[in-house]
Amino acid sequence: MPKYLITVLPPSVISKEIVEMQKEVESRFGCSHAQKAPPHITVIPPFDCSVEKKTEFVAELIRFLNDKPMVDSIIELDNFQRFESRTLFVDVAKNEAFEGFCKALKLLFNQQKIIKQRAEKHYFVPHITLANKDITKRDFKKAWEIFKDRVYQRGFTLKEISILELKGGVWKLVDSIAAQQ
C-alpha cells in the first residue's frame, strides 16, 4: 500500500540552501537519511493509503484549503534546534495560525479515517530536518556544536500544500495544491 506525507515545501531558493546544509552534515558525518525527502515541513506524518483512497484524501484536502484561507501566512525559519540527540533541524518560528491550520487538517483526516492516529497523539513542532536516524550520538554532539550558534533566518508565504509519496525508499513530490489566500 502506498505511503504518503502531507507537507509544506519551502521555495526553491530556500530548499537549495537547506540541501547544502544537509550535504554539509553528510560530508562531515556520513549521514544522509534526511535527504531521502525534499526539504519540507511535515503537516501530516507518513500514513498508508490505498490508491483508491488517495483520490478521497486529495478531494478532502482541496475542500479544506478552500474553506481555510491562509491570508498572509508567513512561515519564518529561525536558526537551528534539536530533538534530544537524534534530530538536528532548521527551526520554524512559533506561528499559531499555521499550527492551528495543521491541527485542524489532522483532525479532519482523523474524522474522515484517512489517518489512524489521534490528533493529540503527536506534539507538533514544525521544522525542516537536517540530520536524523543515521547520525551517531557522538557525531550528533559535534554537529550540534557546529549549528547551535549559526544564524539562519528566512521567511516565505505559504502558497501550497504538497503531497509526497514514498517510492523506492525516497519521498517524491506527487501533487501540490494551492492554498487560498
Those residues of the chain that have pLDDT short of 70 are 70-72, 117-123, 181
At 84, the amino acid letter reads E
Across the beta sheet with 3-8, the strand order is 41-48, 3-8, 160-167, 170-178
The rounded distance, in Å, linking the Cα atoms of 150 and 170 is 29
- pLDDT, tens digit (0-9, with 9 covering 90-100), for 91-116: 999 998 888 888 888 888 888 877 77
- pLDDT, tens digit (0-9, with 9 covering 90-100), for 18-31: 999 999 999 999 99
Predicted pLDDT of residue 111: 84
Q: Could you give all domains of the chain from N- to C-terminal order, each with its CATH number?
A: 3-178 (3.90.1140.10)
Predicted pLDDT of residue 81: 97
pTM value? Answer: 0.92
The rounded distance, in Å, linking the Cα atoms of 116 and 96 is 24
